[in-house]
Amino acid sequence: MSAFAERCGVHDAAREASLQRIGRLVQAQGLELVRFAWCDVHGVQRGKTLVAGAVERALRDGIGMVSTLMLKDTSDRTAFKVFEPGGTASLPGFGFANNLLLLADPESFRQLPWTPATGWLRAQPYFQDGTPVELDTRRVLQRALAKLADAGFTLKCGLEVEFHIYRLDGTQPPDDPMQAAWPGPAPAVRLVHPGYNLLSEAWYDLAEEPLRIVQHTAQALGLPLLSLEVELGPSQVEAVFDATDALTAADNMVLFRNAVKMALRRAGYHATFMCRPPFPNIMSSGWHLHQSLLDARTGRNVFRRESPAPRTDASHAGHTLSEVGEQFLAGLLQHARGMAVFCTPTANGYGRFRPNALAPQSVLWGRDNRGAMLRVIGGCGDEATRIENRIGEPAANPYLYLASQVHAGLDGIARRLKAPPATDAPYAGAGESLPTSLGEALAALQADGVLCDAFGTGFIDYFTRIKRSEQQRFDAAEDRDDFERREYFSRI
């Protein structure tokens, strides 16, 4: 009988050679364990850890995973009634907590730098008949990028990720079994720098020990880290990554976010990618996504314009962006409210959209304007011309964040949309407001027919069901701060 990977249609001579290479590497490096990791709908890695002798078989035949892992909200409650008749009627292939199979990509293999003798592989889920699980968020992005390729383009993305690092306070460890709950208590923490001294060398020095761990972890994993910076808020930092193709950028974000949390935890620190940690006088963290389209054949940046369009000035998108670039920009604006929940998926993140906070409040674009939702960077003849979307929070699932950009931008290109004038007053009340709550953002997505069709109604129904579970529990919480501490600060 053929191996499961062959029945899935993914095993060929190149994969066989890669599989053999991994086997030799595991043996040569003396690895004892290999983690098979999968990214859930919330952007969190889950998976199973195999002993070295079981790795080759798992690469050929897959490894079982309970299907309810794809149906969890942020508290790990299953959002569908899997044991009731019709409870998973909208989810073909799911039911009764049945098994899926994780199949790993041997080309993704890495040795983890923070734990001894351990390797890591990225995996994706399949049904037992060998068909891919289309609700998997990495496949959602892969489908979006295939549509982009059909239009003759690829997407290039650079990441700027703000997050918070705290020192664990050993006097109050959250390990008392009498305090166990669902979700459990948040860790007690202390600051690594006091904040409100942006890019201060002195504050960087205070935070250097954990930032060195971030640096060494990212570089050991082969991630294209460019810089580490002290941000404005207490204990807030930023990591900046070089631009790559979109799928690699999303893979890198998932790996970075989960890896630094684990590496820092072992060293006595707590990293959180929660937008607004549950303390007074904090600053919100954003995930700024830099993006440009490339010609799939030549690799040329198709946003680049050689000279301003006739009869334009600096307020016109065509003064800097090509016609395709303006259309992509206009598509992002057109679908800003609908895409918001993919860019800011937690109830906590909507507190970031406030005036004069270097975060967007309205659906506007500006030229090198950090108060606008979309910031156009570059100039005529500049190959680095790009659009920065500032709507995202660092907790976003990278595959869904990037897929929303592709679908919105493609609609702008298909309909040849024109962008409105640039704003020079992003907090003056002009422009349509961004959603102010998770519930409002979910409603905006469901009202956006273009995005619903692009993602597929099956995926939209699945995603909104899971996020509604989170939103309803947040609305019902007697102590919302405690909800956010347990649900987001501890786990994201």
Contact 389, 330 (CB under 8 A): no
CA atoms in the 13 A half-sphere facing the CB of 228: 20
- Model confidence pLDDT, tens digit, residues 47-98: 999 999 999 999 999 999 999 999 999 999 999 999 998 999 999 999 999 9
Out of 3.40.50.300, 3.30.590.10, 3.90.1150.10, 2.60.40.10, the CATH code matching 144-489 is: 3.30.590.10
Please report the pLDDT score of residue 182 as a whole number: 82
pLDDT of residue 175: 72
Residue 173 has pLDDT above 70, yes or no: no
Identify the weakest region by mean pLDDT among 163-172, 221-230, 445-454.
Answer: 163-172
Extract the tokens encoding 210. Answer: 């954990």
Q: What is the mean pLDDT of residues 322-351?
A: 97
Bond into 224 cis (ω within 30): no
Query: Cβ neighbours of residue 298 under 8 Å, at least 6 residues apart?
Result: none
CATH class assigned to 4-132: alpha beta
Question: What gap in Å lies between CA 43 and CA 47, rounded to an integer?
Answer: 13
Distance CA 160, CA 226 (A): 10
3-state secondary structure of 402: helix
For the chain, the domains span: 4-132, 144-489
Model confidence at 143, pLDDT cuts 50, 70, 90, reads very high
* Spatial CA neighbour of 326 closest among 374, 279, 288: 374
**Per-residue pLDDT at 1:** 53
| Bridge partners, residue 57, by sequence | none
Tokens 């709507």 appear where? 391
What average pLDDT does the segment 433-461 reach? 97
Neighbours of 199 (CB within 10 A): 11
The one-character DSSP state at 430 is -
Residue 172, pLDDT score: 57
| Under 8 Å between Cβ of 140 and 246 | no
Interatomic CA distance for residues 68 and 99, integer angstroms:
9
